[in-house]
């Protein structure tokens, strides 16, 4: 009986098909598991967790309706920064050809020669103001007030430190994001930081508000207590989203715990489905309690 030859071609083709199927399945599974926007509960939990863990309401907006049509950074540029940089700027219009405060000719000597020290001074000087804004507004829900006030103060403060009128979006993002990080570190505490290459200590450890209240090994968990369809209407026009594109709306009640202790029993979060993705309805969701529960 003749021995059958091993069919190399058939094996090669079957291997490609088999592997393509496995890769496809693993990729889809991983995407569905990790990408929160496909699930309203995960989206709501991520929104609440971001704020609870570091007081970062700014970062939480990245999964809200506000960021549906444009990058969060572009939303801030178009609506709050560019109107301060360019005279008569209309949100959404192009900045091409416009001359404003970000013109290189406005840079003074201090700006040109700064090695980061003056920028650091600016960031540090803005922090108390940032903190006062968050406390006065009970968090980040009134983002328009926060952005407008912060930018206005930042322009003045920058002029005082650098001695010129130059102002650009980078200055804003560097400052506010550093302030948000510092605010988070006041809650969570920090550890000693050493340069990993040279072993030189860069900063010392600090104890955060959460550690004082809940101990060193605290860990927050966020759970969905209740989830139902709702008739609460999201204000989509504010973000240029057509109401017809909304395929579903949910109202969810979430519980925040630290270990066994319930620190927030009820935070109501609204989410809206557009296409296959869920977005937090940031207008109807009140997050004030998430900034005060530890006090």
Partner 1 sequence: MGNSEKKKYMKKSEIFTFGIGLFGVALLTGWMPDYTQTYFADFAFKGKGFDAGVISANISTVFLAAGIIGAVIELITGFLIDNTRTRLGKVKPWIGFGAVPMVIIAMLVFCAPDTRNQTLAIVWMYVIYSLYTAVGCAVERPSECFGALCSPEPSERSTAISIASFMKSVGQSGGMVVIMVVGIIMKAVMGQQQFKNAEAQGLDLVIATAICALGFIIFVMIFFINNKERVPYTREKVSLKDAVKVVFTHKNLLMVSLTKLTGFGRGVYGTVSLYIAIYLLGSKDLKLALLLPMGIGTAVGTLLVNFVLKKFSTKQTYILFCVYGASTLTILYFVATGIGFRSELIIPFLILNFFCGIQHGNTNVTPNIMIADCVDEIEYKTGKRQEGLAYAGFGLFAKVASAFTKALGPWLLYTWSGYLASTDANIAYAAQSDSTLNKFLMIYTIIPAVFVILQGVPIIFYDMVGDKKEKITKALMERRAAASAGDADTPQEKTSENA
Residues that bind partner 1 (CB under 8 A): 5-6, 8-9, 11-13, 15-16, 18-20, 22-24, 26-27, 29-31, 33-37, 49, 62-63, 67-72, 74, 115-117, 119-121, 123-124, 191, 195, 197-198, 200-203, 219, 277
Burial of 95 (0-12, 13-18, 19+ CB in 10 A): middle
Cα 118 from Cα 158, distance rounded (Å):
9
Minimum gap (Å) between residue 290 Cβ and partner 1: 17
Indicate the residue among 34 and 228 with the shorter CB distance to partner 1: 34
Contacts of 289 (CB under 8 A, 6+ apart): 264, 267
Considering just the CA atoms, what is the radius of gyration of the chain in Å?
A: 25
Indicate the residue among 43 and 284 with the shorter CB distance to partner 1: 43
Closest CA relative to residue 255, chosen from 247, 246, 267, 245: 267
Cα 97 from Cα 84, distance rounded (Å):
16
Indicate the residue among 37 and 101 with the shorter CB distance to partner 1: 37
Indicate the residue among 144 and 191 with the shorter CB distance to partner 1: 191
Indicate the residue among 99 and 110 with the shorter CB distance to partner 1: 110
Cα 67 from Cα 61, distance rounded (Å):
7
Minimum gap (Å) between residue 99 Cβ and partner 1: 25
Minimum gap (Å) between residue 107 Cβ and partner 1: 17
Residue 103 sits at the vertex; the CA angle it makes with 100 and 104, to the nearest 5 degrees, is 170
Minimum gap (Å) between residue 202 Cβ and partner 1: 6
Minimum gap (Å) between residue 133 Cβ and partner 1: 22
């Amino acid at each position: 009986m003749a021995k059958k030859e091993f069919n190399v071609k058939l094996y090669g083709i079957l291997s490609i098909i088999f592997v393509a199927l496995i890769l496809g399945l693993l990729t889809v599974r991983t995407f569905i598991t990790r990408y929160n926007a496909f699930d309203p509960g995960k989206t709501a939990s991520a929104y609440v967790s971001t704020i609870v863990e570091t007081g970062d309401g700014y970062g939480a907006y990245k999964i809200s309706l506000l960021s549906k049509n444009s990058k969060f950074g572009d939303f801030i540029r178009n609506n709050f920064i560019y109107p301060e940089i360019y005279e008569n700027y209309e949100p959404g219009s192009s900045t091409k050809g416009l001359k404003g405060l970000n013109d290189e000719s406005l840079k003074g000597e201090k700006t040109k020669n700064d090695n980061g020290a003056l920028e650091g001074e600016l960031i540090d000087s803005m922090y108390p103001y940032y903190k006062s804004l968050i406390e006065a507004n009970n968090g980040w829900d009134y983002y328009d007030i926060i952005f407008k006030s912060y930018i206005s103060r930042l322009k003045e403060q920058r002029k005082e430190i650098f001695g010129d009128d130059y102002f650009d979006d980078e200055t804003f993002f560097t400052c506010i994001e550093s302030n948000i990080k510092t605010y988070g570190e006041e809650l969570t505490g920090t550890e000693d930081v050493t340069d990993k290459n040279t072993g030189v200590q860069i900063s010392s450890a600090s104890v955060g508000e959460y550690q004082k209240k809940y101990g060193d090994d605290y860990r927050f968990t966020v759970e969905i207590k209740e989830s139902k369809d709702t008739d609460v209407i999201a204000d989509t026009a504010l973000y240029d989203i057509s109401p017809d594109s909304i395929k579903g709306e949910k109202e969810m009640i979430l519980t925040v715990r630290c270990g066994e202790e319930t620190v927030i029993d009820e935070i109501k979060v609204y989410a809206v489905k557009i296409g296959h993705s869920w977005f937090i309805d940031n207008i109807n969701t009140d997050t004030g309690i998430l900034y005060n529960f530890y006090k």
